[in-house]
Structure 1
Amino acid sequence: MTDSTQSMRVLMLHPHDVRYYPWTVRIVKLAEELAKRDHEVKVAYIEHKRAEEPDFPPLREIPEGTVEYVGLRSRDKQTHKNIRSVVDLARDVDIIHFQKCFASAFIPALWASWVHKKPLHYDWDDNETLILREILGLPVGFASQARFFEKRVPDYVDTISVASDGLWEECVRLGFP
C-alpha cells in the first residue's frame, strides 16, 4: 500500500451462502481484492437454511486468507437476530457494503449504518425484479418485496456501484445521485 492511501475496515453483507451459490463469487472476489490492498474485510453471509444437511453440495469452502467470513442465521424468521449480529459486526468498521436488494441483507445493513452512523454502500449487481419474475415456486410476496426494495434502496444509501450500463441508467432514473 502506498503512503497516499489509507486502509479501511469494510463489512460486506450478502443474502446468500458463499459456500453454495455461484453468484456469490462477486462478493468473494471483491473482498479478496480489497484485502490485497491492505483493507480489513469481513464478509457476513446468510447461511444456507439446510447447511447441516444441504440439498446440493457446496461449490467452495470458505476461502482461507485475510478476509474474515461470518455466517449469519438462515433468513426464515431470523432477520431480527441478524440485525443485532450485523450491528455488532459493524461497530468498528469504516463502511458497510451490501449486495442484492433483499431484506435479509439490506435491513441489517441499514440498521447498522444508522446505529453507528457509518456510510452505506450498495453493490447493485443484477436486476432482481426481472430475474425473480422467471423463477417459479417463490414464497408468496418475495418477488414484490424485492421489487419494492430494488426501487427504494437508492434512497437510503450513500454510494452505489453497478454491474452494467442498464443498472446505471436505472439509478439515474430513480434519482441517484
Structure 2
Amino acid sequence: MVLTVCMIVPFCLALAAVSDLLTMTIPNKLSLAMVALFLILAPFSGLAWSAIGLSVLAASAVFAVCFALFAFNIMGGGDAKLLTATALWFGFDHSLVVFLITVAYAGGGVTLLFLLMRSQAHTVMAMGVPLPASMATAKKVPYGIAIAIGGFFTFDQAPIVQWAMHALG
C-alpha cells in the first residue's frame, strides 16, 4: 500500500502531462483514478476524519475556482479536473499552498517555453525536428504539464505521503 501511495499519483501526473503535450487533452480516468485512490487509502492512512474532510473541502474550493476559470475560457476542463484531483491529496494546509504556488511558477515557465517554441516552430521543424501541435500551432498552453511539475516537486509534502514515509521508517 505504501508503494501505491508513492508511485500511482506521480505516474498519473506524468501520463496527464504527456497526454496534454501530445493531444491537448487529459483523460478523465487519470483524475478519477487519483480521486478514487485517495478515497480508498485515506481512511487507512492514519489521517483523522477531520483531515480527510478538509482534503475534500480543499479539492472543492480548488474546483470552484477552476470551474470559474473554465467558464471564462481561461482554463481547460481537463486541467481543472487534474488540479482538483491533485489538490485532494494535499489537504487544506500549507502543503496545498506550496503545491499551488509551485504549479503557478511552473505554469509561467511552461508558458514562456511554449511561446518561445511557437515563435521558432518553423525553424525547428525546418531542421527536421517534429513538434507536437501543442508546441507548434495551438493557441493555448497544455497546463497539465505545469500541474504535473508542481505535483512532482511537492508531492512529498502531501499528508498521506508523509504518513507513508513515516510507515517506511
TM-score by length of 1: 0.29
TM-score where L is the length of structure 2: 0.30
Find the structure with the greater CA-based Rg.
2
More strand by share: 1
Larger relative contact order, structure 1 or 2 (CA cutoff 8 Å, min sep 6): 2
